[in-house]
Amino acid sequence: MEKKKVALITGVTGQDGSYLSEFLLAKGYEVHGIIRRSSVDYRERIAHLEGTPNFHLHYADMGDSMSLVKLVGKVQPTEIYNLAAQSHVQVSFDAPEFTADVDAVGVLRILEAVRTNHLEKTCKIYQASTSELYGKVEEVPQNEKTPFHPYSPYAVAKLYGYWIIKEYREAYDMFCCSGILFNHESERRGETFVTRKITLAAARIAQGKQDCLYLGNLDSLRDWGYAKDYVECMWLILQHDTPEDFVIATGVQHTVREFATLAFHYAGIELRWEGEGINEKGICTSGPANLVGKTLVAVSEAFYRPTDVVNLWGDPTKAKTELGWNPQTTSFEQLVQIMVNHDMQKVAADHVASVMRTNLAEYLEKGIVK
Ligand code: NAP
Ligand code: F7E
């Protein structure tokens, strides 16, 4: 009889952690996730999984070795997916030391937790590596052999994670690998990443809840995929015969401006772009009558980074041929549409909820509701 597969996911409350949990539960895994203490219990992305028999949550922290050693010993995972990170590139300039502790040394803590519990021959490890390693890119498109040139504190921390995984693979013969994932987005994406910031703003502007969206570098190029498609690859990487690193990307590139144009289009608004650099504006040419002629997108220096990665474009050939993964399951257009449709509904629902709250307050005051 096949041994039960037990997965431990760090970063389970994040975008990828939530999709990966669903994916592994559907495959019959026992799934354990690490959560950290916070003053607000914010587990929106996995709330629907809580109470599922094979789904377990534990308190630990990537900055706390003892908590990781104890948890790995208790859970005895057969696969670890190390997704936990301070994952916002711009924030890494403001909190570089914390980013290094979690995103670099955190990886080492996981590796050592496995070794301390003598699981190095039975537990495979997936490391959430990133296209940010290519940074100030030295070639396009980027593949597994492209030289790295990290260009932010986040990327430098992730580079340590990449190399320490490779080192432990060679030094201790451990099955540990990095997935070099290009940007992947979804309706669960954090609201300060550019795609979600745009889809939420497009929905709010279309519904009269926001006047203007302020962005940074509109020329930045990204290879954007759908997070739900990418978590399958994390799993496939650990099912491969040999431990290897893989680039996961769609192979298609777009600018931030193109993303915004399409998102507003799906929200019922057409934009025309005028001006350059800091003076560029997205003006409404058709849509709700009160918006036509207005500037709906403008550029703000606040969203420029000290160093910015501007030309990411992945070559997923290895993942396609060796893992049998399809990089085009969800197209760019479908991705933008999924996110906008979701946010149009969310904004409308938030509006209804706030009207209901206002009405309730009024009814309570007038004694209509007791
Ligand atoms: P995310 O939504 O920001 O989630 C990050 C997760 O890490 C959250 O669950 C967060 O917990 C947890 N975390 C942060 N600090 C922690 C700590 N000290 N101890 C324990 N947990 C901690 O990120 P994501 O988009 O799902 O990305 C998953 C991973 O892939 C990250 O490592 C990211 O760097 C990497 N990556 C992402 C992309 C992408 O495009 N999404 C591309 C390449 C690589 P809280 O919920 O408590 O904050
Ligand atoms: O920025 C530009 C910004 O913050 C994308 C993380 O998941 O993917 C993500 O990192 C681009 C950058 O993602 C705004 O300058 C313009 O060039 O959405 P982002 P990111 O930095 O690519 C990688 C692969 C990861 O590993 C990370 O964990 O968009 N941009 N205007 C803006 N970016 C933001 N956030 N906000 C703006 O207003």
pLDDT tier at 23, thresholds 50, 70, 90: very high
* Contacts of residue 49, Cβ cutoff 8 Å, sequence gap at least 6: 18, 21, 22, 25, 55
CB 261 within 8 A of CB 291: no
The CA 203 to ligand 2 mean position distance, Å, reads 20
d(CA 368, CA 232): 53
355: pLDDT strictly greater than 90:
no
Beta strands 270-274 and 281-286 are: antiparallel
- Write out residues with Cβ below 6 Å of ligand 2: 87, 89-90, 130-132, 182-183, 192-195, 197, 215-217, 220, 222, 256, 303, 305, 308-309
Q: What percent of the chain has pLDDT over 70?
A: 98
pLDDT at residue number 188: 98
DSSP code for 58:
E
> Per-residue DSSP letters for 135-153?
-S-SSSSB-TTSPP---SH
pLDDT tier at 228, thresholds 50, 70, 90: very high
Question: Which region among 138-147, 149-158, 345-354, 360-369 has the lowest average model confidence (pLDDT)?
Answer: 360-369
- Residue 135, sorted as left (phi over 0), alpha (psi -120 to 50) or beta, turns out to be left
d(CA 121, CA 240): 16
The CA 221 to ligand 2 mean position distance, Å, reads 10
pLDDT tier at 155, thresholds 50, 70, 90: very high
**What average pLDDT does this structure show over 126-134?**
98
d(CA 210, CA 205): 5
d(CA 141, CA 235): 24
| Lookup: tokens for 221 | 């190029």
| Lookup: tokens for 64 | 């706390």
pLDDT at residue number 326: 95
The CA 292 to ligand 1 mean position distance, Å, reads 39
pLDDT at residue number 367: 66
The CA-atom distances, in angstroms, between 109 and each of 17, 56, 70, 165, 242 are 19, 21, 12, 11, 23
**What average pLDDT does this structure show over 63-71?**
98
Question: Which region among 115-129, 264-278, 344-358 has the lowest average model confidence (pLDDT)?
Answer: 344-358
182: pLDDT strictly greater than 70:
yes
Q: Is the CB of 311 under 6 A from ligand 1?
A: no
pLDDT tier at 369, thresholds 50, 70, 90: low
pLDDT at residue number 193: 98
Mean pLDDT for the chain? 96
Known catalytic residues are: 130, 132, 154
**What average pLDDT does this structure show over 94-115?**
98
> Per residue in 25-49, pLDDT tens?
999 999 999 999 999 888 999 999 9
pLDDT tier at 331, thresholds 50, 70, 90: very high
- CA-nearest residue for atom 30, ligand 1, is 128
Geometric angle at alpha carbon 43, from 41 and 49, rounded to 5° = 135
Sort 163 into a burial class: Cβ within 10 Å, 0-12 / 13-18 / 19+. middle
